[in-house]
Structure 1
Amino acid sequence: MTTVIVAGAGLAGLVAARHLARLGVDVHVFEREDEVGGRVRTERKDGFVLDRGFQVLFTSYPAARRELDFDDLDLRYFAPGAVLARPGSRSTLSDPFRDPGTLFESMANREVRLGDKVRTLKLRRELTRKPNREIFAGEDESIEEYLRERGFSESFRDNFVGPFYGGISLDRSLSTSKKVFEFTFKMLSTGRIAVPADGMGAISEQLARKARAAGATIHLEEVVSAVESDGDEVRVEIDGETITGDVAVVATDPKAARELTGVDSIPTDAHSCITQYFVHDEPLDTGDRILLNVGDDAPNEIVPVSTIAPEFSPEGRELLSATFLGLPEESDEELAETVVETLQRWYPDRDFAPLEHLHTDRIEFAQFAQPPGVFDTLPTTRTDEGSVYLAGDFTEASSLNAAMESGRKAALAVYDDL
């Protein structure tokens, strides 16, 4: 039987392992951590459910619909749109097609001009009809240039798109590729934003169960330090021991994948973020929506996590998350003070002094950078070493969808070549 060694048990590695095992291949997955998931993991602390950084699932992701069982994940849904917050002012901006109850409130929102609202509806109609393959084809430019050419005002870009896409692409400057904007805008227009009731780590755990059920073996706390191929077989060094197989699929993080394979086109320029979790006794009045900071960028957004997913918090306690873009030099305590001060300015009639800082995640490599033109430079699944393949979002785009899609493509490439 053909033996495939998969390095990494993130979403890409788990999907690749499942498909290969279903095709009758002997699959062994080696993961350096003590749990699966890579960047998609969840920690439990004092009864609270804490995702590793603020992450969500777009239910319209094609790969998610193909690879995941949504019913088993028991999804909890965000309300469409967001609350735009600045000192002494909070206003709702939503999608009237998916959230008709907010039509008048959204139309009356003074943060965004009427002309921009009309342009947004026209863009929604256009992109929902645009095939995904066309979105990622052709010329490229930044989100900033794309919106300016379409007539969107500077205030719209600054007051809504900047902070909203700061949360998606970790780039509030809108220098990210317009292809990221078009794809995510389409996903938001045709589906919903959700989190599993047990946290985002439930996605990784479900994929691991599916991989094991198909016949794959997953080895935890096993570090892959080298991958070599002579064309006939691969030799993989794991914790000082060399094992052999017919094929290796490298599905690690981008930096490790580049070191293991020598493929220079694997992107390693990163966007970072810091997510802090807080506990409060009185819920915010956001209507299951994200609070976007339109006044400044510290923090970029605050999310009433347990309002959306009550399972994330013990009864009677409100769990909030706040995300800062980049890696600010301030200490965890100083950043927590910034969050308290920000909430106090947004809600001047409330007292946030009792806000309890629960946990901080400093994530150095949250996404790889996606400037205009990046999709023309990404590596393919196949490498120059005939028996070594790549699986990871770095072969597609920086998203959960891309990670799962890359795993499927790697499995199909291995099977076709064999």
Structure 2
Amino acid sequence: MLEPAYQADVVIVGAGVAGLSAAHRLTRAGVTTAVLEAAHGVGGRMSTEKVDGFRLDRIGQLLSTAYPELRRTPGLDGLVLRPFAPGVLLHSDGRHHRASAPPGAGGARGALHAVRALASAPRPTVPRSAPRGVAPLGSGVDQARLGAALTRIANTPIERLLCRTESPAAQALAARGLPARTIDGFLRPLLAALLCDPELTTSSRCADLALRAFAAGRLCVPEGGAEVLPELLARSLPAGTVHTGVRVTSVSTSSVTTAEHGEFRCRAVLLATDARTAAELLPGLRVPDFHPVTVVHHTTDEPPETGAALLLDADRGGPVAHTAVVSHVDPSRAPAGRSLISSTVLGPPPPDVETAVRTHLSRLYGTSTTRWETLAVHHTPEAVPAMRAPHDLRRPVRLLAGLYVCGDHRDTSTVQGALHSGHRASTAILTDLGSAGSMHRAEPLPTARAA
């Protein structure tokens, strides 16, 4: 029999959340799609390691219930988000200061209440001998200014935020009349946790989007680990759509070549890999700088009494930027009777990172960590693409007719950005292929060649 003219309408290279979300929209439009992934599992950097009943995220990026793409993306209907306690817990001057919205408060109103309530909130987890410090938000007037700023940003349409004058986030925050203590004591540690950029070199537009999501929603993690999100997307695609263990060696507008199966013909190719892999397949694509991230996971049978709070270090007194008893947020991540504490180090880690983190955590939680067991230390040098000003939040996903690219390096360096870039890429592909879609059935992969 004659071979088919092509084996799928669209071949997607990479099974991260950007590529999988694009695959959902294409298949729903009647476009036959094949997703090729070099690894033996889906998800890319959104991976979760299983160790003795614990579920340990490799990077542990924070999500927000305000991310619109989590609601819009087909295939994520079964995603369960486990929110942290409202707001955050700040460690400053040896004390904990809670910034939390009252139950039932949402959006800007909740964020405004959170910062005003910070200085007078109870601090049950700090030793009685700790010195009485000043709230990291400064005076009552400073708190009111911050509350007003969060109110405005929560109510500003996204397109208006993207039209603001762009500068590094630290410079933009100072120019808005916020005092240095408020920036360093609250906004810097918060944005460091959200953007993995403790120096606030990120574009002010990207920082505004992150603050908007914080003010309008709740910080959260997927139930069961980060890998659940891409696995949900993969499982809900038609059978035979995703092929793992397939290494793509070259691409064109009408085919991809794989190491295992030779050529795979198509009408369009979407590169949905990380930025460096995409540039290897298409020399000339820009490779951004990256923020390195190290996540250290501990377990103990006597967890700190911080509940489900996200704890930030406002003093920057050690390598840990933020930490949480994650099993209090998502009990499925630890076996019964054990607690999981996950801590994030931003930037290059210190030489003896495990010892430095353990010492810092003892100060942050106000308890001894000598009996804590280290489960894993995950260091990812190219964890999050940097978004330094000037940053194009809507980098083109259409390179030319038949060749497209998506990923968090084309949008914002967040799960929201990755999903949205996949949305934009699928829209461009459907426009180019035409509204008629495809009447062809996807053909199976060719038989693997002998080594």
The verdict on a shared fold, with TM-score over 0.5 as the criterion, is yes
Per-residue CA deviations over 1:154-188 (Å, capped at 9, x if unaligned) read 12222222222111111111111111121111111
Residue 6 (structure 1) aligns with: 12
Aligned partner of residue 29 in structure 1, secondary structure: strand
Do 2:406 and 2:425's aligned partners in 1 also have CA atoms closer than 8 Å?
yes
1:221 paired to 2:245? yes
Q: Which residue of 2 aligns with 1:78?
A: 84
The match for 1:315 is 336
CA contact (8 A) 2:304 2:365 kept: no
Q: Which moved more, 1:236-245 or 1:136-145?
A: 236-245
**Residues 216/263 of structure 1: CA separation in 2 closer, same or farther (3 Å cut):** farther
Instruction: Give 1:58-69 correspondences, 5 Å limit.
Output: 58-67=64-73
Structure-2 separation of matches of 1:65 and 1:206: 14
For residues 98 and 342 of structure 2, what CA distance do their matches in structure 1 show? 19
Pair 1:353 & 2:370 matched: yes
Identity %: 29
Check conservation: 2:111, 2:150, Cα contact below 8 A: no
How high is the TM-score relative to the length of structure 2? 0.84
Summarize the alignment of residues 61-140 of structure 1 with structure 2, pairs less than 5 Å apart.
61-67=67-73, 72-86=78-92, 88-95=94-101, 97-98=109-110, 105-108=117-120, 110-113=135-138, 114-140=140-166
> CA, structure 1 residues 278+73, in 2 after alignment: closer, same or farther (shift >3 Å)?
same
Matches within 5 A, 1:6-405: 6-67=12-73, 72-86=78-92, 88-95=94-101, 97-98=109-110, 105-108=117-120, 110-113=135-138, 114-212=140-238, 217-229=241-253, 233-239=254-260, 241-264=262-285, 266-296=286-316, 297-330=318-351, 334-348=352-366, 350-375=367-392, 379-384=395-400, 386-405=401-420
Q: Displacement, 1:246?
A: 1.1
Alpha-carbon distance in 2 for matches of 1:70, 1:224: 27
Q: Cα offset for 1:359?
A: 0.5
Indicate conservation of the 8 Å contact 2:12/2:23, yes or no.
yes
Q: Distance in 1 between the 2:353 and 2:149 partners?
A: 37
Structure (1 or 2) with the greater helix fraction: 1
Q: Distance in 2 between matches of 1:270 and 1:309?
A: 29
Amino acid at match of 1:226: S
CA RMSD, Structure 1 to Structure 2 (Å): 2.2
**Superposition deviation, residue 347 in structure 1:** 4.6
Is 1:408 equivalent to 2:423 in the alignment?
yes
Letter paired with 2:428:
A
CA contact (8 A) 2:60 2:226 kept: no
- 1: CA distance between counterparts of 2:199 and 2:293? 15
**Equivalent position amino acid for 2:135 in 1:** R
Q: What secondary structure sits across from 1:277 in the alignment?
A: strand
**Whose Rg is larger?**
2
Count residues in correspondence. Answer: 406
The C-alpha deviation readout for 1:209-260, integer Å capped at 9, x for no partner, is 2323xx661000111121123xxx2343344722221110000000111221
Maintained 8 Å contact 1:86/1:345? no
What secondary structure is seen at the aligned counterpart in 2 of 1:279?
A: strand
Cα displacement (A) at 1:81: 1.9
Q: Which one-letter code corresponds to 2:174 in the other structure?
A: R
Kindly report structure 1 stretches of 4+ aligned residues shifted beyond 6 Å.
99-104
Deviation per residue, 1:11-64 (Å, 9 max, x gap): 110011111111111211000111111111222110001112222221111111
Letter in 2 for 1:337: T
